[in-house]
Amino acid sequence: MRQFQTQKDHVVDFLFTLALFCVFAASALMVVVIGANVYKQTVKSMDDNYDSRTSLTYVAEKVRQNDAADAVKIDRVGDSTALVLSQQTGAGTYETWIYVYDGYLREVFVAQGAPVKETDGQPIKEQESFSVEKDGSRLTLTAGGEGGETRQMTVFLRCGE
C-alpha cells in the first residue's frame, strides 16, 4: 500500500511540475508576442515620423537656400499647392517649383515664366499631401503621410517681403 501511495505522490509531483512549466512557457510566449507587436508599432511610427519630417526638412532647407527678397511665393500646379523659389543667376532668373503629384513630392527647375505641368517634376520622395501657407515672413509647411498623419514646420524668412 505504501508503494502505491509513493507512486501516486510521484505522479502528482510530475503533473505539478509539468503544469508549472506549461504556465511558464505560455507566459514567455505571451511576452514575446506582446513585445513583437509593440516593436512593430514603434517601427511604423518611427517610419511615418521619418517620412514626413524628411520631406519638411528638405523643403525648409530649399527655402533657406533661396531666402531673398521676393524669392518665395505660393502658386498652384494642377490641383496642388506649389512652393515657388526664385533665384537670380548670371543667365537670368530661374524658379524651383516644389509640389505633390501622384503620391510623390516633386521638384522642377525652370526659367521664370515657363509653364509648369504636374508631370514635369522629378519625384523626390513618397508623400501623400503637401501644402504651404505664407503669412508675412512666416512660411508654414504641412506634409501628410500614408496614415493620414500630418506634420507641420514653420520657417521664418530672414529677407523682408
Encode pLDDT of 91-150 as tens digits: 889 999 999 999 899 999 999 989 999 989 999 988 888 999 998 889 999 988 777 778
The number of C-alpha atoms within 13 Å of 129 and in the hemisphere containing its C-beta is 13
Domain residue extents for the chain: 1-161
Looking at the chain, list the stretches that DSSP marks H as alpha helix, in order from N- to C-terminal side: 2-65
**With the CA atoms of 41, 43, 49 and 54 taken in that order, what torsion angle do they form, in degrees rounded to the nearest 10?**
-160
Alpha carbon distance 135, 10 (integer Å): 82
Assign residue 95 a region: left if phi > 0, alpha if psi is -120 to 50, beta otherwise? beta
Give me the pLDDT at residue 149, please: 79
CA angle 62, 67, 70 (to 5 degrees): 120
Give me the pLDDT at residue 100, please: 93
